[in-house]
A and B are shown apart, each in its own frame.
Chain A
Amino acid sequence: MRNIWTIAKRDFKSYFTSPIGYIIIALFMVITAKMFNATLGAYIDRSAMFQAYGKGPNIHEGIFRPVFGNMNVILLFVVPFITMRLFAEEKKQHTLELLITAPITMLEIIFGKFLSSVLVVLAMLLPTLVYPLVVMSTASLEIGPIFTSYLGTLLLSTSYMSLGILYSAMTDNQIIAAALGLFSILFFWLISWGAQAAGPVWGDVMQYASLITHFENFSQGVISTPDIIYYISFIGIGLFLTHRTLDSYRWR
């Protein structure tokens, strides 16, 4: 456990010794803030209209579901840039040799690196807590769905990471790692679009394989075990393949 933390701490710090950590977090904050502002404005306009007829959509459905939906799309584009350096840079700087010849296991190295990028995403999500707090200061808001949305977002973005870390382990070129990561995440995101056309059996499979379908329940305030199992296995497979890739790098 100490080894994992040693690796994670070093990697997390190194995000913030170069501009990349600050740039990513700042961009993320600007975009989500703009989005939240626009969604909030639209909701206020609509609720004024709805007031004439009686009941309107609730605050979570009207504001936070779309905000979280958009946040996940942004994360899709951001996460590959967080994970791209994890192994690619170690290879380029020849520091992977230091890690491999240290008395720690490959699994500890991978978990440590993975943890560091999870921490970066947590650092990105932390400021977004302001939005529910702002709404809560003037209206009543249910905490439950907000909590599950955050949980879902975290699971979803860690799934992105498991793909990104895999490509980072495959190459020593960060740009290639990011590009491949981005394409694969998009693939697993959009695969459900073809589900309708694919017929009953394959349609179900494609629907199930899609990253985004499993987020639906979380965004509505439901924690469902199958969705959690899906994300955990997705992450597990990604990290397993990363482990295989790095091991084969040693054998070559």
Chain B
Amino acid sequence: MIQVSHLTKFYGPRPAIQDLNFSVNRGEIVGFLGPNGAGKSTTMKILTGFMPASDGIAKIAGFDVFDQPTEVKRNVGFLPENPPVYTEMTVRDYLEFAATLHQVPRSELKRATDSAIERTGLGDVRNRLIGNLSKGYRQRVGLAQALVHLPKVLILDEPTVGLDPKQIIEIRELIKSLAGDHTVILSSHILPEVTATCQRIIVINRGRIVAEDTIDRLTTRMQKGLVYSMVVKNPMDDGIQALRQIDGVSHVSASGSKLTMELRPGSKEIRDQIVETAVTRRMGVLEFSAERLSLEDVFLELTTVEENSGRSSTEPNTALQ
């Protein structure tokens, strides 16, 4: 549904995105993840035809974004960073306007707006002025605008920014329900956001893709080894020493009553052994848990690794100036 190859965009001499390659299949929800200023919005603006790329090709539903912008725009619904709403219009009028702009036939207009209002839960405010609505409702109006013409592709730039927790959950559910009929790309710099809604994520940093995979595979791939933590009543030195001697444990550190054990990569199941050692040494086990490397860590890992290598790769560019 979406193919991007060698996409590059320069703002003056500064590259915003460099040589992006990815594709999104029909009905998929893909998360675009990266710190602020990584190039997420730039990529989205190019995909929606808001701005042209400096180099590379982007195709949506088989149409080239640069050569056939009108066909592309007909098939895309876009929610920019700031919901593009007219504060002096009512929700209804605004959605009708957006639908008309997106070539919804006159006879379908009412049905299209009604269904968009219903799907985004705007029924109560449909006749209110958008200017009088809260940020959360405006965001929903923006989302309703993006899907009022039932586009094949939805591009959502930080769709849940500024919403309260309940609304965030509702919007996430809504986005999930769109999968299948629509292909969705959404961007975020918040991890749980992407974990909760997307099937696949593309991590982008300093204008380059640093990882692209399903969430499960990404965490496993980055997992260097398991970490167990144990809270004990009396963390005696000889007990800790005994734990260190267990085969497969690479490192044990103690802070107060909390012991953290790192395992060598690829080691077999030894939880039984650890607990047994602690019990026989009478350390008084209170808690035992396995700590998985969370996506948060993966994300940090990826973006900080890139920071070092990224700096060296951009140096030739700055030298050229």
Contact = CB atoms under 8 A, between A and B. Distances in A.
B74 A103 contact: yes
B85 interface: yes
A105 B70 CA distance: 8
A197 interface: no
Interface string A90-132: 0001111111111111000000000000000000000000000
Contact of A95 (B71, B73, B84): B84
Nearest to A5: B100
B73 A102 contact: yes
Q: Interface SS of chain B: helix, strand, loop or mixed?
A: loop
A17 B88 contact: yes
Interface stretch (B30-38, B48-56, B238-246, B248-256): B48-56
A252 B11 contact: yes
Contacts, number: 67
A252 B103 CA distance: 28
B74 A98 contact: no
A37 interface: no
B39 interface: no
B159 to A, nearest CB: 15
A103 B70 contact: yes
Interface in B71-87: 71, 73-74, 76, 78, 80-87
B101 interface: yes
Interface residues of B, number: 29
A101 B86 contact: no
B11 A6 contact: no
B151 to A, nearest CB: 10
B145 interface: yes
Contact of B101 (A3, A97, A252): A3
Contacts of A99: 101
B89 interface: yes
B50 A100 contact: yes
Interface string A210-252: 0000000000000000000000000000000000000000111
A157 to B, nearest CB: 25
A95 B85 contact: yes
A10 interface: yes
Contacts of A104: 70, 101
